[in-house]
Structure 1
């Protein structure tokens, strides 16, 4: 084991052990319990593992769930349970609640999205849609780039951003060969795909994991349905895409006057292909109709799972290609949020800082900026997993936030910021794929990503303000 790797392990797992050895008074939180101390240790371990990655990030989530079962639950190891001599032990979590994070309705929502994406790819619905939808954009380089960005964004609303980027970059290969070696337009096209994928994922609740994590806390009076989410997120995506397109074509002008984008293929007309088309359309339609038909988006998400399984469109071999790591990663975040909430640590930590003395706008701006910075250096999902439960507790504790949209406003700002972190190749898998293709530099990516991040945060505030004006938040 290399020294650097050993240090990562030591820091990620050593510091939590040190935290467990500290007296409760060392935390400076009045009423701190033993259970809350253990949650602090698990939270620090998760944060360090997600940032330093001594183990895979999905493995960190599984470890979080297992540790909560072992040391926080009512079925914990016997020597971790409370005794008569421990009056400050704290709240004990129900083991069923911890395990239920693996089968949260939001996990089922993502599973339905994965089934739709796999079926669309298997029966070439994605490539054929790209071929049809790109035709109206003509042959001018700037227009072709806009078309590619629009298609990428649309696919990213319903497919994995990573899978969408990989598919679109493959389509882009013959286009990039047209450019001369010194043509800056090549960088624009190479960056357009990951930028559009990152932005497009904001458009639907299943577009990217941070959106699903936000839904976990947008309940009750703050509940947002699938169609409602799209009603404000899609306009945001459209505006951001236009800004990104203008920025790319301005920073990296092309020397080409005309280009041809040849995508070969035709829509399949087999019975199974038709089932895919119909199921895809019906599922999207039911999602957009909200609860007017009596079903919520989580119930609708299981329709394609059932249809594609029964018709053998998705077989047992296909199931191996589902992004189980993403589902585990999200469920680990839910478990971490459950522990922070149920033990009272999140509310105690928030109350320990006098947020009420600060301007609500300043608080919203600060947490949004923090989320954007974190999302540039670590997984967007991990960032959302760490921040969402704390921000949700903060929203509940600050009465002054009610005048600025309350819980819904601050969570949406943080959620959108998580997807806007795209300044570096390590920021998000689409960026890494585009950088690995070798047609863009880290400097170009940082320039575009930083500008779009700042513009996106500003636009998020405008969006929330308009939503407040019309009474949505």
Structure 2
């Protein structure tokens, strides 16, 4: 039996096993069915016999067929407003990639910060984190890694140990910075959207761009600096001015190849800057005057303008559909699948039943519980994607938080 067949059978097998076990005391029948459906989806998200997005469509089929919820009640979750916020964010990311604005920003930051090897590593990390605030972590890593490799290869230090340490610190720094930067903004990484959509659905709490930014930016900055200090301690770097001159020369030559800032880049900066300003000021000022406006309305308005504002080159708009269609549409289905399962937990009574079972954990140390949760999530994310892990764990952790009487955000974040 090949691996894919085993992975395919894992989901239906778990589904049937849970349906066949006797109904636990106090558990509604619909709750057990929801648990069985969740087990099937989770198994396929982990084993990936099919694409994650395809697995995310299972709740749309299984919930109605198993009598948990009608299709009309759950299909709207695949069009939640948070999903459109991220679609708009993906459009901006693709536009930034199209006109190479990310490369100019990154190289400029590295050039001005990188006066010695340690600061060169910091420059790459700051640039990677900044870009990752607006573009997905994976896309940022794909953009930044070739530049980092080119800079690392340009050094000709006679000290092999120093050269190797520089390469390790630089490439690891870029990788970690891409993940850290995504924490700073709402649109930085899809897992942020999963959290936001879940707390809105479960607790009715709306988190604005500005509220997240006030929390996320200081947190990400602290993590970034701590990561940089750790890397240069683990991989000690000399204050080698010769290496610094070589790497800065490489960065300068890359900047020269880009030439002067172009009309599309300038217009994109103005448009995206306006959207960011609207996000920041909206919750503070004008959302109160326009009660039906929110971050999603601002984002979608900006995304539409990308297709309307001329780039200044050959009558092309800043973004065309041939480019836009390449955004990661599968993530949209992942969001929808996670939200549908969340609704199933609540509507079937599974969340309430699990909360009652977890009430006894209130006697345990909250620090120990938090450490256990972190360990489980880290281990699970090693075998499943971050998005799938977040989608699977949100319901469990929220129920756990309610059961032990702690603020849910403490575990969900």
- TM-score normalised by L of structure 2: 0.86
Q: For 1:297, which of 292, 295, 298 is the aligned residue?
A: 295
- Post-superposition offset of 1:320: 2.3
Partner of 2:386: 380
Tell which deviates more after alignment, 7-16 or 44-53: 7-16
The correspondence of residues 31-430 of structure 1 with structure 2, limited to 5 A, is 31-72=26-67, 92-179=68-155, 183-219=164-200, 222-254=205-237, 257-258=243-244, 259-260=247-248, 261-262=251-252, 263-264=254-255, 265-266=258-259, 268-270=261-263, 272-291=264-283, 292-294=285-287, 295-311=293-309, 312-353=317-358, 354-399=360-405, 401=406, 406-412=407-413
Counterpart-to-counterpart distance in 2, 1:184 and 1:277: 36
Structure 1 spans left out of the alignment, 5+ residues:
73-91, 413-473
Q: Secondary structure at the match of 1:177?
A: helix
Counterpart-to-counterpart distance in 2, 1:305 and 1:111: 9
Q: Is the 8 A contact 2:137 2:178 kept in 1?
A: yes
The correspondence of residues 437-456 of structure 1 with structure 2, limited to 5 A, is none
Counterpart-to-counterpart distance in 2, 1:393 and 1:204: 26
Partner of 1:87: none
Q: Is the 8 A contact 1:137 1:143 kept in 2?
A: yes
Note the alpha carbon deviations across 1:253-297, whole angstroms, 9 max, x for none: 346542222322145443x54432221001111122242221322
- TM-score normalised by L of structure 1: 0.75
Counterpart-to-counterpart distance in 1, 2:266 and 2:3: 53
Note the alpha carbon deviations across 1:92-149, whole angstroms, 9 max, x for none: 4242331112211110111111011111111222112123222321331111110110
Counterpart-to-counterpart distance in 1, 2:42 and 2:11: 8
Q: Is the 8 A contact 2:114 2:121 kept in 1?
A: no
Q: Is the 8 A contact 1:169 1:193 kept in 2?
A: yes
Counterpart-to-counterpart distance in 2, 1:296 and 1:382: 27
Counterpart-to-counterpart distance in 2, 1:41 and 1:305: 39
Q: Is the 8 A contact 1:50 1:60 kept in 2?
A: yes
Classify 1:138/1:360 alpha carbon distance in 2 versus 1 (closer, same or farther; 3 Å): closer
Counterpart-to-counterpart distance in 2, 1:142 and 1:273: 30
- Post-superposition offset of 1:244: 0.9
Note the alpha carbon deviations across 1:22-64, whole angstroms, 9 max, x for none: 332xxx3x33233222211111112211221222222211223
Note the alpha carbon deviations across 1:57-100, whole angstroms, 9 max, x for none: 2221122333224334xxxxxxxxxxxxxxxxxxx424233111
Q: Is the 8 A contact 1:157 1:202 kept in 2?
A: yes
Q: Secondary structure at the match of 2:57?
A: helix
Counterpart-to-counterpart distance in 1, 2:113 and 2:371: 38
Counterpart-to-counterpart distance in 2, 1:128 and 1:62: 39
Counterpart-to-counterpart distance in 2, 1:355 and 1:303: 47
Structure 2 spans left out of the alignment, 5+ residues:
288-292, 310-316
Counterpart-to-counterpart distance in 2, 1:350 and 1:364: 17
- Post-superposition offset of 1:166: 0.6
Counterpart-to-counterpart distance in 1, 2:322 and 2:26: 52
Q: Looking at both structures, which has the greater relative contact order when contacts are Cα pairs under 8 Å and sequence separation is at least 6?
A: 2
- Post-superposition offset of 1:156: 0.8
Counterpart-to-counterpart distance in 2, 1:381 and 1:157: 17
Q: Is the 8 A contact 2:184 2:213 kept in 1?
A: yes
Question: Aligned-residue CA RMSD in angstroms?
Answer: 2.2
